[in-house]
Structure 1
Amino acid sequence: MMVAMNIVEFLEARIAEEEAGILDGSFVVGTSELPGDGGEAKGSLGERMQEECAQKRAIIASWQEAADEEGIEDPGEAQGTVAIARRAMLTILAGSYRDHPDYDPGWSPELPTDVTAGEPTER
């Protein structure tokens, strides 16, 4: 049965489920090499998954702080370039949970599909 919730509540619930799965061992959390900068750093997959959950929570907190300042209660009410960009971050995060029964297809981001890869920019 689908539970009516907004996108922020949906994301918070999914992140809580992921964290619970990490902590109770539902995910295999072996050690893996971090991408090559030549260093000795190694970290467990569980640690990296927990960090990803924390980063998702930071995105949600950033949205909530801005929404509170602007008096926005529902992300769908966001107007203006910055508010819409912040809402897009939420919809992109939620998109990774499209198969969840509580996912609302109305949250699907309208991402460009005709973008061609350009030359990499130098830093």
Structure 2
Amino acid sequence: MDIVEFLEARIAEQESALREGSFRPGGSVGPENENMDQSSLRALMLEECARKRAIIASWKEAADAEGISDPGEAEGTVAVARRAMLTILAGSHREHPDYDAGWSPELPSDVSDESLPE
């Protein structure tokens, strides 16, 4: 399973759980969402799934145009940036048994307090 297949499967799982009503958001609900009812929050989360799918579709389109079959083969600034988006998305599923540690994104560790939301 490559990173694109992995992400598509995780998104499908989340969408299915949201539609069935079995998905319960965890601690990622911020102050901007605390007054939302479950239906509104579910709609917002389904929209997030659609945005993730758009990132993956963008990758696939670019990869097809450049003849890239494996994201690890991406070269050049734009290709590497697109691959980074995939690894960042996959990083939120690092506890999943199908997650490949080789996909771990290199995230900045020196984030200043000024860049964090209040």
Query: What is the RMSD of the two structures over their aligned residues, measured on CA atoms?
Result: 2.5
Q: Comparing both structures, which one devotes a greater share of its residues to helix?
A: 2
TM-score for the superposition, normalised by structure 2: 0.82
**Corresponding residue for residue 109 of structure 1:** 105
Aligned residue identity for 1:6: D
CA distance in 2, matches of 1:115, 1:78: 27
**Corresponding residue for residue 90 of structure 2:** 94
Q: How many residues align?
A: 109
Which of 78, 81, 86 is matched with 1:85 structurally? 81
Gaps of at least 5 residues in structure 2 are: none
Q: CA deviation at 1:28?
A: 4.4
SS of equivalent to 2:42: helix
Instruction: Determine which structure has more spread, i.e. the larger CA radius of gyration.
Output: 1
Gaps of at least 5 residues in structure 1 are: none
Identity of paired residues, percent? 69
**Corresponding residue for residue 17 of structure 1:** 13
- What whole-Å deviation, never above 9, does each CA across 1:25-76 have from its counterpart, x for those lacking one? 10248xx9x949xxxx986111011000000000000000000000000000
CA distance in 2, matches of 1:110, 1:35: 28
TM-score for the superposition, normalised by structure 1: 0.79
